Each structure stands twice: as structure tokens, then as C-alpha cells.
């Protein structure tokens, strides 16, 4: 079998569909999967040849078994790297490996225990301001609120209390605007000339420079003060390369910090938002979560050691990321010719691992569109095909923040779900907006009320 013999979307069709692809790539890709099968050849945007797959074996081959043959696509370096520098998410090869080895131990589950207090502190403040918002009796966009809480969690986990309110707002605004611009650049490559001519590239470069300046200030202040904190910045400052015994230089510290900021909040915020949405549709799950928290923890804030006890809540989060994977797609480029299961993968072709498609595939998930958290019980997990569920990616480039993200989502939901009664605003329709991450288009408006007993 070669590339001609795997099903191929006719080129004219990819061109015809390119406008719809920009608007709603998930509808196009899922329709293709239905028509052409789990692995097929296509042209992204009618231009770039690609193999797209929802086949868990294929995905495992690319991300793990033969990962050396697959580099991240130029999107990661050229576009993201231009604004975000050369950090874990945007680097490759030897440099990436050295950085990953250096930083990985800092994200070990046990090392994260120290962040529980920081996260609980952010949640205390959030609850106080959320209560005030609720008192105004207006619908609340849960998407906006989860973005705020996740941003504060990553900011304080990086810098503890060093960072002031005003600068936090500035950083948050700048990073959001840069991310939105990046999404437009990636989806509308044909507008590149216009983005430059109209001064948009320059404007966003200025925002990036401003954010760099704020972050550098904190790095320098921490270094000079000699004050040690139990946070991620301290971990980055203290990390030493195995070969030289040296730490990172200032530019490296800046790049890695910025990448953690960017990679570390929108994804978690989206996962939390989709979970609220699903819970609003499944009151029986809310009852079970509340019961589990009362039984396992009581009414104090959860501590790190409590988190493994929250089995059902964790299943809900996992099922939510199956239905709505925040990182809904990822891509690589084949460095050399390769084969998987008789399929030729020619050098230079884009290989798209369609995470959303794998998560919705009836090959792996009976009744795939149904919300069934019990799919992720200990017993059921053992039966899942490897790489059929990969919200955090897989192989050596598995998300470094996966434990951090699980921990913040568990803590946030364990504190917020028992406190509030909530429902979707009447008539609220929910539409997918797959940009760099999968978010709800125009947010999700809900009504909240402080529940009985709080
Ligand atoms: C629900 C939340 C999250 C999801 C769904 C998610 C998903 C992912 C995925 C799928 C990748 C791999 C991308 C690829 O293979 O091309 C990734 C990489 C990465 N993530 Fe996350 N992530 C989340 C939260 C976080 C957090 C909280 C942090 C930091 C605190 C973080 C930092 C990173 C970094 C630095 C990488 C690049 C790792 C490398 O290439 O070595 N992520 N993430």
C-alpha cells in the first residue's frame, strides 16, 4: 500500500472546503473521517499535503514509537516562537531535550504538592469576587471566569505574590491578545502580507516586548533578593544542567517562563469551562461529586493528599476532556520517509494527529457523544486502547504540565461545585470554536447562586 492507496480527499474538495475549514475545522475533519476512514490523505487549506489520522496505533507510532522521525511543524517555531521565544513548546531537537530534562523534575507530582496552598489562596480570592458578581444577579460567562482563575493560578504558581495586580492585568491582556493574533495568523496564512502592512505584527511584537519586560523584572528581583519561594520560578532558577552544573541564563529563564504562562492557562480554563457546561446538563453528576466531597473531605478546603480520593470528580474531568479536548489537534512533519502498517509516510509531509477525532471515534468509545464519566473508572481505563485518549498528547513531548493541570482542576471544582447551584441561561446555544485551543464560541452564560448551607 502506498500513499495513493490510502483514501484521499480530492484536492478540489479541500479547496472548496477551505473557507468552511477556517470557520469550523472540526466539522470538516470529522466529516472527512466519516467519509474516508481513520487515516487519509488531504491538503490542509487546499494547499499543504497531509496525512490525518484518528487511528490510535498510527498516532502512537508518530508521537511515541518512531517519534525521532517526527518534528514539530514550522507553525510552532516560526509563528509561536516569533512572539513567545524559544521555550519547551517552541523548541526541538537537542536543545529541547536538554531543556526538558532540566525542567521535568520540577513538574513531578510530589514537587507540585507545595503549590496546593498557592492554588487554594487564588481560589479563596476568586470565590470572594465571584460571590460579589453573583450578588448582581446577572448571567455570568463561565468561560471568562475560568480564564481569569486559571491565569491567576499559573501566575501565582510561577511568581507567588511577587506580581502586582496591575501588572497581572497587563500580562493577562497582552498574552490573550498575542494568542488571538497567533490563531488568526495560523488560520489565515494568506493574510500574512496584510498583517505586516497594516502594522498588526509590529503591534503584537510590542505587546510581547512589554510582557517580556514585566517577566524579566520579576526574574531579576527574585535573583537579586535571594528570597527563596516554593514556586515554579524558584524551580526554574534552581534547576541545574547535568553536564555543566550551571543554571539557565536570563533569556532561557524568560522564554521558559513565558511558555509556561501561555501553555498553562487557556487549556485548563477551557477544560474547566466545558466541565461546567457538562455538569449543567448532568445534575446527577453534580450530586455524585458533592456526595464524594462530603464523604472523603468534609467541608474544609481539599489538600494535596485528598486529591487521589476524589475518584469520581477526576473521572468527570477526564470525560470532559475526552468530549472537549482543549488541545484538539496536534501536528508533526515527517523528517524522512517512513511506513506505518503498510501506509507510506513520505518525507516532508504534515502528519496531523486529530485528537478530537480519536476521542469521538466509535472504534474506541461506545456511544461516543454521550457523557459517561465511568468510562474512566480504574477497571474501564485498563481496557482503553493506548493513545485513543490523549488530552495531554503522548510520547516524549507529553504535556509537562499534566499533573499541574489535573491538580488545579480538581482543586477548583472541589471547591466551587459544592458551593454553588448553577444552570445554563435559557436559550444559550453552545458552539465549538477550535482555535489553537478548543473553546466555546462566544462563551457560555450561566446563572449561579450560592447554595444552601454556604
Ligand atoms: C487541561 C490542561 C492542558 C492540556 C489539555 C494540555 C495539553 C497539552 C498537549 C496536547 C501538549 C502536547 C502538544 C504536542 O505534542 O504537540 C502539551 C504540551 C505542553 N504543555 Fe500542556 N496542557 C495543559 C496544561 C498545561 C499546563 C498547566 C502547563 C504548565 C504549567 C502546560 C505546559 C505545557 C508545555 C510546556 C508543553 C510543551 C512540552 C514539550 O514539548 O516538551 N500545559 N500540552
- Confidence band for 152, pLDDT divided at 50, 70 and 90: very high
Look at residue 290 and tell me whether its pLDDT is greater than 60.
yes
Question: Rounded to an integer, what distance in angstroms lies between the CA atom of residue 275 and that of residue 413?
Answer: 9
Residue 364 has pLDDT above 70, yes or no: yes
445 closest CA partner among 164, 68, 139: 139
**Residues lining ligand 1, judged by CB closer than 6 Å?**
88-89, 100, 154, 259-260, 263-264, 267-268, 271, 326-327, 330, 391-393, 397, 399-401, 404-405
- The ligand 1 atom nearest the CA atom of 404: 27
| C-alpha pair distances (Å), 230 with each of 162, 188, 235, 253, 406 | 12, 42, 8, 17, 19
Instruction: Point out the least confidently predicted range of 180-184, 214-218, 315-319, 335-339.
Output: 180-184
Distance 326 CA to ligand 1 centre (A): 10
The overall average pLDDT reported for the chain is 92
- 173/277: higher pLDDT: 277
CB atoms within 10 A of CB 68: 9
Does the pLDDT value for residue 352 go beyond 80?
yes
pLDDT tens digit string along 404-429?
999 999 999 999 999 999 999 998 88
Residue 180 above 90 pLDDT?
A: no
Which atom of ligand 1 sits closest to the CA of residue 395? Answer: 15
Q: What is the pLDDT of residues 235-271, one digit of tens each?
A: 999 999 999 999 999 999 999 999 998 899 999 999 9
Grid coordinates representing 412 are 477548583
**pTM of the full predicted structure?**
0.95
63 within 8 A of 69, measured Cβ to Cβ:
no
Distances (CA, A) of 312 to 245, 293, 436: 43, 10, 29
Query: What does the alpha-carbon distance between residue 414 and residue 116 come to, in Å, rounded to a whole number?
Result: 13
Q: Determine the residue of 261, 321, 390, 399 to mutate for testing ligand 1's pocket, defined as the one with the most ligand atoms within 8 A of the Cβ atom.
A: 399
| pLDDT score, position 191 | 82
% of the chain beyond a pLDDT of 70 = 98
Q: pLDDT per residue over 24-55, tens digit each? A: 889 999 999 999 999 999 998 778 899 999 99
Pocket test for ligand 1, best of 118, 263, 264 (most atoms within 8 A of CB): 263
In ligand 1, the atom with minimum distance to the C-alpha of 391 is 5
Cell numbers found for residue 355: 485528537
Judge contact between 42 and 342, C-beta under 8 A: no
* Ligand 1 centre distance from Cα of residue 253 (Å): 18
- pLDDT of 389 strictly over 60: yes
CA 409 to ligand 1: nearest atom: 1
| CB atoms closer than 10 angstroms to residue 97 | 12
Least confident range of 8-12, 165-169, 241-245, 376-380 = 165-169
Phi, psi of 148, deg, nearest 5? -65, -45
How high is the pLDDT of residue 453? 67
Helix axes 165-187, 200-225, angle to 10 degrees: 140
Average the pLDDT over 291-315 and give the result: 95
Residue 2: which pLDDT band, with cuts at 50, 70 and 90? very low
Amino acid at each position: 500500500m502506498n500513499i495513493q492507496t490510502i483514501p484521499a480527499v480530492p484536492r478540489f474538495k479541500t479547496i472548496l472546503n477551505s473557507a468552511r475549514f477556517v470557520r469550523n475545522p472540526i466539522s470538516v475533519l470529522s466529516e472527512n473521517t466519516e467519509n474516508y476512514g481513520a487515516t487519509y490523505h488531504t491538503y490542509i487549506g487546499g494547499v499543504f499535503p497531509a496525512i490525518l489520522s484518528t487511528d490510535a496505533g498510527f498516532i502512537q507510532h508518530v508521537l511515541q514509537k518512531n517519534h525521532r522521525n517526527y518534528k514539530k511543524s514550522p507553525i510552532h517555531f516560526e509563528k509561536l516562537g516569533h512572539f513567545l521565544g524559544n521555550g519547551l513548546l517552541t523548541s526541538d531537537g537537542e536543545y529541547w531535550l536538554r531543556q526538558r530534562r532540566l525542567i521535568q523534575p520540577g513538574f513531578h507530582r510530589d514537587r507540585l504538592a507545595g503549590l496546593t496552598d498557592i492554588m487554594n489562596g487564588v481560589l479563596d480570592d476568586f470565590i470572594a469576587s465571584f460571590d460579589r458578581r453573583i450578588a448582581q444577579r446577572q448571567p455570568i460567562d463561565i468561560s471568562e471566569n475560568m480564564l481569569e482563575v486559571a491565569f491567576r493560578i499559573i501566575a501565582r504558581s510561577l511568581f507567588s505574590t511577587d506580581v502586582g495586580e496591575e501588572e497581572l492585568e497587563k500580562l493577562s491582556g497582552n498574552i490573550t491578545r498575542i494568542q488571538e493574533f497567533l490563531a488568526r495568523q495560523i488560520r489565515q496564512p494568506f493574510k500574512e502580507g496584510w498583517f505586516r502592512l497594516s502594522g498588526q505584527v509590529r503591534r503584537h511584537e510590542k505587546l510581547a516586548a512589554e510582557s517580556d519586560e514585566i517577566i524579566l523584572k520579576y526574574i531579576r528581583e527574585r535573583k537579586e533578593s535571594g528570597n527563596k519561594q516554593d514556586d515554579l520560578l524558584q524551580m526554574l532558577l534552581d534547576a541545574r544542567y547535568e553536564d555543566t552544573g550551571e543554571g539557565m541564563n536570563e533569556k532561557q529563564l524568560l522564554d521558559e517562563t513565558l511558555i509556561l504562562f501561555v501553555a498553562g492557562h487557556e487549556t485548563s480554563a477551557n477544560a474547566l469551562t466545558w466541565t461546567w457546561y457538562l455538569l449543567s446538563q448532568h445534575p446527577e453528576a453534580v450530586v455524585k461529586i458533592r456526595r464524594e466531597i462530603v464523604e472523603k473531605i468534609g467541608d474544609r478546603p481539599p489538600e494535596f493528599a485528598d486529591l487521589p480520593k476524589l475518584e469520581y470528580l477526576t473521572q468527570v474531568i477526564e470525560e470532559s476532556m475526552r468530549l472537549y479536548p482543549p488541545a484538539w489537534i496536534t501536528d508533526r512533519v515527517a523528517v524522512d520517509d517512513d511506513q506505518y502498517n503498510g501506509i507510506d509516510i513520505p518525507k516532508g509531509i504534515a502528519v496531523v494527529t486529530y485528537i478530537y477525532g480519536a476521542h469521538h471515534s466509535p472504534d474506541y468509545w461506545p456511544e461516543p457523544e454521550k457523557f459517561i464519566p465511568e468510562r474512566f473508572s480504574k477497571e474501564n481505563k485498563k481496557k482503553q486502547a493506548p493513545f485513543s485518549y490523549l488530552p495531554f498528547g503522548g510520547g516524549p513531548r507529553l504535556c509537562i504540565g499534566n499533573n499541574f493541570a489535573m491538580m488545579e482542576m480538581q482543586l477548583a471544582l472541589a471547591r466551587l461545585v459544592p458551593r454553588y447551584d448553577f444552570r445554563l441561561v435559557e436559550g444559550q446555544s453552545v458552539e465549538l470554536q477550535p482555535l489553537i485551543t478548543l473553546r466555546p464560541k462566544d462563551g457560555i452564560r450561566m446563572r449561579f447562586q450560592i447554595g444552601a448551607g454556604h
